[in-house]
Amino acid sequence: MAMEFASQNIISCITFTTYVVLGNSLTAAKVFSSIAFLNALQRSVTRHFPPAVQKLNEATITVKRIQVREDQALV
């Protein structure tokens, strides 16, 4: 839980630092809209990424089981 809060600040700092280093200037409008976008993105990733990883792992295991059964059937 604490990592979620820290990661938001770290990602924001890295994003804004990179933006400024690339020669752009920050305005309040850009900062506020960027933070709103990053918050929405974080919520979406937090909600959908873990189930996607779980389903990917389940699919990988299923494919391995099918391959083992096919190999056993050929022998």
> pLDDT tens across 8-41, in order?
888 889 999 999 999 999 999 999 999 999 888 8
Three-state SS string over 12-53 comes to HHHHHHHHHHCCCCCCHHHHHHHHHHHHHHHHHHHHHHHHHH
What single-letter amino acid sits at 59? Answer: A
Q: Are 4 and 42 in contact (CB under 8 A)?
A: yes
List all residues 6 or more positions away from 11 whose beta carbon is below 8 Å from its beta carbon: 38, 42
Q: Could you tell me the residue ranges of all domains in the chain?
A: 2-74
Residue 1: in which H helix or E strand, if any?
none
List pLDDT tens digits, range 35-51.
999 888 888 877 888 88
